[in-house]
Structure 1
Amino acid sequence: MLNIGCHLSVSKGYKVMGEEALKIGANTFQFFTRNPRGSKAKEIDSNDVKALLELAKENKFATILAHAPYTLNACSADEGTRKFAVNVMADDLNRMEYMPNNFYNFHPGNHIKQGAQKGIEYIINMLDTVLKPEQTTTVLLETMSGKGTEVGKTFEELKRILDGVTLSDKMGVCLDTCHIYDAGYDIVNDLDGVIERFDRIIGIDKLCAIHLNDSKNPFESHKDRHEKIGEGSMGKGVFIKIINHPKLRHLPFFLETPIDLAGHAQEIKFLREGYIEK
């Protein structure tokens, strides 16, 4: 079965997100844990979360993906910003235990001219502070496009973070198709080669989720502008290859394309029609 969803708004409530997913043919979804451009988080309604979990179980949902706010920068040159990142992620991981055994994804951050190695050290320090042995949530590093001073633009940088974290068994990777294409991994013409490289450097067992996004920019542009499936520089064909790839097809896929729910429904329909059941 193809496990596919899109980004939904938690402001309407947890159960509503599950209902919206079902209406567009999805069997999972992604949501921001709090204001993506700020710090405010909606108070947890345990009954609402319970209703979502019941709905998800009844409809055999795949793993759900929570996304940290964009304001979380664990490797900032500013100490206050780094403390904010620690506090936000610690709070988010506590909140995620209301819906156990799901994923929490974050952008590694921008080192702001300190150098990637210093940025990686800060990220590891944050993760060692917030990760707990008893947590059920798997924390995912997102692959980045290499815009500005982003950390995580190469598999090697992600590997250094994963290797440095004490509780590495609580960690994984979310691969963003737009980001890695923009970063210089040619998944359009050499998908097998890119997946083999990921497996050799990081380990395919660490790949937990995929963001399915086309790119508004050409290959290796080091930008980060998502496009609707098949309307960017990557084309429709690669997405059918990705969802059917033997090392990827079992993963949950999440659309972050710039489109409304009706548009996501059409993208999901296209992907389901292109998925080969085995």
Structure 2
Amino acid sequence: MNGMRIGAHVRNSDNPLEEAEALDVDLVQLFVTDPQKWKKPVVGEGLERIRDSAVDVVVHSSYVINVASLNNRIRIPSRKSVTEQAAVAAEVGALGLVVHGGHVRDGEDPDEGIANWRKLFERQAESGGFAVPIWIENTAGGDFAMARHFDAIAKLWDAVGEFGAGFCLDTCHAWAGGEDLVGVVERIKAITGRIDLVHLNNSRDDFDSARDRHANLEEGTIEPEVLVEVGRASGAPVMLETPAEGIAADVAYLRSL
């Protein structure tokens, strides 16, 4: 694990630097607005302090965003929010913006959702591209998800890969989504050509459960050694999104290897 960059999702957006220093991490992930609402992001004092520090930042986009949606009332504000949050991410010097793959509703054509992803990149390319790289994250559930199963991710990448889309691999999501973690790095790189970030999370639920419930590294249903190997093989920074009460122990566990 020598050389691995270890990060954590911080809950205190008012003072993320203080939390990063307490956890002794190399980088942090944070929201730049309320993740459950359509609020416009702003750079407050806390974000300014971490921008001016030696700690690197990754921004996670709002949960309400669903670029793939066929519903105009969701898709259109989603496109706007991705652009706004990427701009603020650039203001704080973020490495990238993580965006969930999203989904269409039951009975709708997933290919239309993929087409909507392509339109997002096409439209932004006309304005010079996004302010930071967009890293699409695999998701845990949904039969009509854009990025749950790897065959779906392959179709998505055929549509957006040419625009420089990045990939964020979440180990809990892959496990709960029914994708074996043994050899997962090689399999996903064969599709995307890259892994820009690993969300290194254990799972509270069984394989292929379609449930997105994270556990601390040594306490879930995934063998910790398997998680460590995914992080090591990826060559990418790892970000812990594990439960807050055990995240310091997770950092210490990785540091001890």
TM score, norm. by length of structure 1:
0.83
Q: Are the equivalent residues in 2 in contact too, given 1:141–1:158 (CA < 8 A)?
A: no
Contact 2:83 2:130 in 1 (8 A): no
User: Which residue does 1:24 correspond to in 2?
Assistant: 23
Amino acid at match of 1:107: H
1:85-111 Cα offsets, whole Å, 9 max, x none, are: 011111112212213351100112120
Aligned residue type for 1:121: A
Structure 2 unmatched runs, 5+: none
Amino acid at match of 1:233: T
Q: CA deviation at 1:243?
A: 3.0
Partners of 1:166 and 1:242 in 2: CA distance = 22
1:259 aligned to 2:244? yes
Q: Which residue of structure 2 aligns with residue 198 of structure 1?
A: 188
CA separation of 1:10/1:43 partners in 2, compared to 1, >3 Å: closer, same or farther?
A: farther
Give the aligned partner of residue 50 of structure 2: 52
| CA RMSD after TM alignment | 2.2
Distance in 2 of aligned mates of 1:146 and 1:43 = 31
SS at match of 1:173: strand
Which ranges of structure 1 fall in alignment gaps of 5 or more residues? none
Q: State the partner residue of 1:222.
A: 210
2:168 aligned residue: 174
CA distance in 2, matches of 1:17, 1:230: 25
For this pair of structures, how many residues does the alignment match?
253
- Give the match's secondary structure for 2:13: helix
Go from structure 1 to structure 2 and tell me whether the alpha carbon gap of 1:94 and 1:158 turns closer, same or farther (over 3 Å shift).
same
- 1:120 offset after TM fit, Å? 0.9
> Match of 1:88?
81
Q: Pick one of 115, 118, 135 that aligns with 1:121.
A: 115
Counterpart residue number, 2:58:
65
Q: Percent identity?
A: 25
Give the structure 1 partner of residue 155 of structure 2: 160
For 2:153 and 2:161, the matched residues in 1 are separated by: 15
Alpha-carbon distance in structure 2 between the residues aligned to 1:240 and 1:36? 29
Contact 1:89–1:130 under 8 Å retained in 2: no
| C-alpha distance in structure 1 between counterparts of 2:24 and 2:160, whole Å | 37
Closer/same/farther in 2, CA of residues 201 and 167 from structure 1, 3 Å limit: closer
TM-score (norm 2): 0.89
